[in-house]
Structure 1
């Protein structure tokens, strides 16, 4: 388990391109590890889900979009070599631009789009509560909608989740460690969440 004092950062790249399928996460990870194989050797690495807009052709990458990887600081120099690279993801050409490091800061309310776990919501909440207790984290939970990432070959399911009333140390611990599995596909990664309404 990653300690709350481990040196974890977000490495943020400018990204541009066309559209991606809803379950782009699998092919994005495959391409990232093709370009930087060391990513696949570290279980702590996560890919923060892209913010995209729906269109008739798929999920549209907006202008000024960012691709953010959460990883140990020691990998930053190696992974920063992705800057200015072209990627082929799900029949779309994506262009990465410059990159910068973004320190992870504590916030009292955090959100993850998809946390893996039990199919039943009550069982899922029990699993999350047990995992947080094992980490020594105290927080209030709000379970959102159930989501599935499926591309015909691989399927991941879980719920969106908000944790609130976190103290600074617990907030950092959750962001460094995450919850559930499949961080590489954007699952269980927590980011600041400022408004608790309309959970997705």
Structure 2
């Protein structure tokens, strides 16, 4: 076997300009379609969050499977949460002190009480493959057009990549109507570019839970 790495990235250090702040939380359950009510509650608790350009909200996903249980996929289903589930905000590091105001608060998320505990900062992932579960699809459901728009958005960030793959669509409800999203994987990034994509995200409404990227373990 012959294997040649394109570059030596073993000494790369992830910058801390943007960080994921993971809060302990206590909440029995949420609807699978919880993006809008959760974001609304966060915006009410942290009034600056909606105006912070680098702020992002990770939707609460839960485990994919375990002991025969599979995560619900339908928007109307209920997502039951474990004690290990975390509420995660993506923030510029200068906002971390402001975000501590969330600790101790109890949010009403679509009639479900979510109590927020202590937080732990986490560096962004050091990886060459990233995945976003929910990128806003502004093409009315045309997958080829969605991919083209995603590639254009990635090029606008001056990113270099080798693969872009889209996944299944998912529609979220909002007071103004449905928002259609698709999952998106971007592979073949340099570590610098992967961090830049995590810092910036892709598409609109990142402070509502869309367009944030996390490490994907395999292609």
Fold match (TM-score > 0.5): yes
Query: After TM superposition, where is structure 1 displaced by more than 4 Å over at least 4 residues in a row?
Result: none
Q: Distance in 2 between matches of 1:54 and 1:62?
A: 14
Alignment of 1:27-46 (within 5 A): 27-46=37-56
Q: Distance in 2 between matches of 1:130 and 1:168?
A: 20
Q: Distance in 2 between matches of 1:131 and 1:153?
A: 25
Unaligned runs of 5+ in 2: 1-13, 63-70
Return 147-156 or 131-140, whichever deviates more.
147-156
Match of 1:37, SS state, is: coil
Contact 1:54 1:60 in 2 (8 A): no
- Say whether 1:107 aligns with 2:108: no
Q: Which residue of 1 aligns with 2:189?
A: 166
Larger Rg: 2
Q: Deviations over 1:158-198 (max 9, x none)?
A: 210011111111101100011111102211100011023xx
Contact 1:11 1:99 in 2 (8 A): yes
TM-score, normalising length: structure 1: 0.89
Question: Alpha carbon RMSD of aligned pairs, Å?
Answer: 2.0
Deviation at 1:84, TM superposition (A): 2.2
Contact 1:48 1:70 in 2 (8 A): yes
Q: Deviations over 1:97-142 (max 9, x none)?
A: 1101111132111100011132211111111111111211122111
Q: Which residue of 1 aligns with 2:165?
A: 142
Q: Which residue of 1 aligns with 2:79?
A: 59
**Count of aligned pairs:** 193
Unaligned runs of 5+ in 1: none
| Aligned residue among 73, 89, 100 for 1:69 | 89
- Say whether 1:175 aligns with 2:198: yes
Q: Which residue of 1 aligns with 2:180?
A: 157
